[in-house]
Structure 1
Amino acid sequence: MQIRELMTSEVESCSPQDSLQQVAQIMSDLDVGIVPIVRDGGYLEGCITDRDIVIRAVAKGMDVNSTRVDECMSENIVSCTPDQSATEAAQMMADNQVRRLPVVEDGRLVGIVAIGDLAVERAADESAGYALSEISEPARPEMH
């Protein structure tokens, strides 16, 4: 099954100039933990997660009302295309230890796919399970 059949295509996004408060409000309103960051024309610049906001801003005492998204967002995001298979996406998630992938076409954001979306497709169940087990694996297992 292709990602275009599984992805969420109505994705709320922010610009790099928006405040952390604005992106946090979107997360709260939509009950999501990640928001893609796009520039004019819908080109994917990066993503910001609730964890990014806490670790990169709140923990450092930064003001969420005046701190811009581009000060805390993650760049060089792993993404997939709508034509990739669920198995390929699951492997990308496992390899990169991420639970969500922005879906881009010609550099523009067209959707997002989560590990839960992959589990919807029966053929992808094994791939999704494998990806989740790999994502849940600590980066440095020797550390406790």
Structure 2
Amino acid sequence: MFIAYGPGITNPIALEKLFVKPAVAKVAKSAEMKNIKQEDTLHRDSSSSAYRSERDRAKKAYQSEELTQKQQPSLQAAQIMTTPVVSLQAQMPAREALKILNANDFRHVPVLSSHNQLVGMISDRDIYRCMCGSDAVCLHCSSASEAVLVESVMKDQVLAANIDTDARYIARLFVEQRVGAMPVVENNQLVGIVTRGDILKAVMLHFNLDIWE
């Protein structure tokens, strides 16, 4: 399972909302073509039997693929994540955050609130983009760069994985949605992070195609 975090946000997200399954997409396309051919005799609304039939087929196709993946061996987020994880405070000056990122050669770091709750992610590019890392005026808010806080430039809605989330789903998100790094949580507490490097390392250490199908 994945969870969306942000200031005051803790929102579990079902897998079907993140991914468009090929089997479902194929059935949906087929249903669309049939509806076009039958548009003179059928209404394309939720009350039509044709719609319900195709919807049920799509649901069964999705469930069948989910069952197949569950039956295959898999790695969990806890097995591939980097831990302990470095985090930053939302109220920290962005320039100080950049120093930490550069000193540790980090690209992405989770951001926590004063109550140590995950509220966002920040990258070196987020800071460079608004010039907070220089002596110039911030392009994001027109403030002096030294006055800009992490919370002003971070991504304030971040997708996190549970420790038992299937690593294949994380890898798929990295590819399909260009995710650069993903925090890992347990009981809503930050416990690790998965990066592209962690995925590549896992592939090398567990070079079994069945694990990544």
Task: Give the TM-score category using the shorter length.
Answer: 0.7 to 0.9
Residues 17 and 124 (structure 1 numbering): CA distance in 2 closer, same or farther, change over 3 Å? farther
Q: What is the CA–CA distance in structure 1 between the aligned matches of 2:80 and 2:123, rounded to whole Å?
A: 21
Q: What is the CA–CA distance in structure 2 between the aligned matches of 1:14 and 1:109, rounded to whole Å?
A: 12
How far residue 118 of structure 1 moved from its aligned partner, in angstroms, is 1.4
3-state SS, counterpart of residue 160 of structure 2? coil
Q: Which residue of 1 is the match for residue 104 of structure 2?
A: 30
Report sequence identity in percent.
27
Q: Does 1:82 align with 2:156?
A: no
3-state SS, counterpart of residue 80 of structure 1? strand
Alpha carbons 2:90, 2:114 under 8 Å: kept: no
Residues 106 and 57 (structure 1 numbering): CA distance in 2 closer, same or farther, change over 3 Å? farther
Alpha carbons 1:118, 1:124 under 8 Å: kept: no
Q: Which residue of 1 is the match for residue 191 of structure 2?
A: 110
3-state SS, counterpart of residue 162 of structure 2? coil
Structure 1 letter corresponding to 2:190: L
Q: How does 1:29-48 map to 2 (within 5 A)?
A: 29-48=103-122
Q: What is the CA–CA distance in structure 1 between the aligned matches of 2:143 and 2:108, rounded to whole Å?
A: 20
TM-score (norm 1): 0.77
Q: Which residue of 2 is the match for residue 70 of structure 1?
A: 151
Residues 124 and 116 (structure 1 numbering): CA distance in 2 closer, same or farther, change over 3 Å? farther
Query: Which has more radius of gyration?
Result: 2
Structure 1 stretches of 5 or more lacking a match? 130-144
TM-score (norm 2): 0.54
3-state SS, counterpart of residue 17 of structure 1? coil
